[in-house]
Amino acid sequence: MATPRTKSPKNDPAKLLAALTSVDPKARRRAAGALGNLGDAAAVAPLAAQLTYERDLKVIEALIGAIGRFATPAAAAALVEVLRRERGRAALQWAAANALGALGEPGVGPAAACLGDGPPTAVYAARALGLSRSPSAVPPLVAIRVGVGPLALREAAVEALGSIDHDAATAALIAALGDAQPDVQHAAAKALVRQGERAAPAVAPLLRAGDELSRRAAYVFSFVKAPAEAAPDLVPLLLRRETAIHATTALAAIDGGFDLAAEALPAAGAALDGDDPGRCYAAAWTLSQLARRRPERVDDGVIAALTRGLAQPEYETRSRVAEALAALSPRGADGVIARLDDALPLARQGAAAALAQATAVDPRAAPSLARLLGDEGCAVWAAEALARIGRPAREAVVEAAARGGEAAVRARRLLALWP
């Protein structure tokens, strides 16, 4: 006759409940986890009771996690009690908020009731509402966002809305982009990024809004693929210093339906010829990025504008121009080499920088580069470009060594590379 199977101590509810009051914290922690895994909602009451006088932090966290396995009103009430009682103990409030959010719909009402408690409890309650991912969590979060409460709470409400996949949450985040507080605006933009492509149709019209709204919209589309029809609205943002980076990234990610060469590149090339420092920098940045990503789309007119831009007065702008020409090399080499002998010192420096960053340098540049070894503003770039040319530059470098001075010192270092 077969011996009847007995319950394992690991899954015997009676033994596990007894272990909750063990003097051994490890035993209590293991018992809490096992009761949560059993899935019997009757365990919520003893788990909650143990929470009221438990002092070991690791056991408290285990009890919170176990209660969070039961999507019941009793579990939600127990977790809210912890959320309010443990004010000032961030790790426990964090754990309670996560567990409350994991309950889903049963946790929404109890968490919303905590929003009036003020930070930090209300901030953790907002997190729980976001983690619930329930559409019913949207109204209480929106009420916080449009209120006049503490900034930390309003930011938390916006961040929570980003976790809820619902049109009402997206609409609330779009509204938050126009908030008076920059921190709330930025939190809304990051939340829209988390919503992904579902938010794109609502964000796209903001590209035409101007000022801060356009900048935030461009930020979103630097992470979330913009719809192809938004491309023309991104082009003007290529020429604003504060939006160029995001707009360039967004445009480069759009596939089809937009002729980058016909729209973005000529606009940036024309702006580079202007006298507005901000637009010039934005154009240079845009061209440096597109030259790397889509070099085949850059035409001779844009290359000519870049060559003229080597004399830009701002160092950052000039550096971006040099990066673009380096990425396009050997195209444009004739114009860059010619500028090595330009009367303008900045143009010579920009040309040397462009060649120094190119994958391969035309040996025809060697004589001019060797002359620049004595030019303090260009010497480092010139030496790097000559090193890239290699042995074909030796004759020009030997002549520079014979001229004496600092140029000779730099020339001898280069000659040591080609014994």
- The gap between the terminal CA atoms of the chain, to the nearest Å, is 94
pLDDT at 9: 56
pLDDT at 220: 96
pLDDT in tens, 300-329: 999 999 999 999 999 999 999 999 999 999
pLDDT in tens, 2-24: 444 444 556 788 899 899 889 99
Helix %, strand %, coil % for the chain, to 5?
Answer: 75, 0, 25
Quote the mean pLDDT of the chain. 91
pLDDT at 324: 96
Q: Is the pLDDT of residue 232 over 90?
A: no
Q: Is the pLDDT of residue 343 over 50?
A: yes
Distance (Å) of CA 74 to CA 68, 71, 78, 81, 237: 11, 8, 6, 11, 53
pLDDT at 118: 85
210, two tokens? 């101007």
Q: 71-224: what CATH class? A: mainly alpha
Average pLDDT over residues 221-250: 89
Average pLDDT over residues 161-187: 94
pLDDT at 114: 96
C-beta pairs of 229-234 under 8 Å, 24+ apart in sequence: 229/204, 229/257, 230/200, 230/204, 230/254, 231/257, 231/258, 231/263, 232/258, 232/263, 233/204, 233/207, 233/208, 234/207
Q: Is the pLDDT of residue 106 over 70?
A: yes
Q: How far apart are CA 177 and CA 96, in angstroms?
A: 30
48, two tokens? 């909650």
Average pLDDT over residues 165-176: 94
Q: How far from chain centre, in Å, is Cα 197? A: 16
Q: How far from chain centre, in Å, is Cα 128? A: 24
Q: HSE (CB half, 13 Å, CA atoms) of 383?
A: 20
pLDDT at 3: 41
Closest CA to 201 of 177, 172, 225: 225
Q: How far apart are CA 244 and CA 285, in angstroms?
A: 7
Residue 45, Cβ neighbours under 10 Å: how many? Answer: 12
Average pLDDT over residues 203-222: 93
pLDDT at 146: 73
Q: Is the pLDDT of residue 394 over 50?
A: yes
Average pLDDT over residues 265-284: 90
Radius of gyration of the CA atoms of the chain, in A? 32
Q: How far apart are CA 301 and CA 303, in angstroms?
A: 5
Q: pTM for the complete prediction?
A: 0.77
Phi/psi for 85 (5° steps) reads -70, -35
Q: Where are the domains of the chain?
A: 71-224
Q: How far apart are CA 138 and CA 144, in angstroms?
A: 10
Q: Is the pLDDT of residue 356 over 70?
A: yes
Exposure class string for 387-401: b at 16+ Cβ within 10 A, else e: bbbeeebbebbeebb
pLDDT in tens, 48-76: 999 988 999 999 999 999 999 999 999 99
51, two tokens? 């929470």
Quickly state the pLDDT bin for 211 (edges 50, 70, 90).
confident
Closest CA to 230 of 212, 255, 211: 255
Helix (H) or strand (E) holding 323: helix 315-328
pLDDT at 258: 56
pLDDT at 5: 40
Give percent above pLDDT 70 in the chain.
Answer: 95
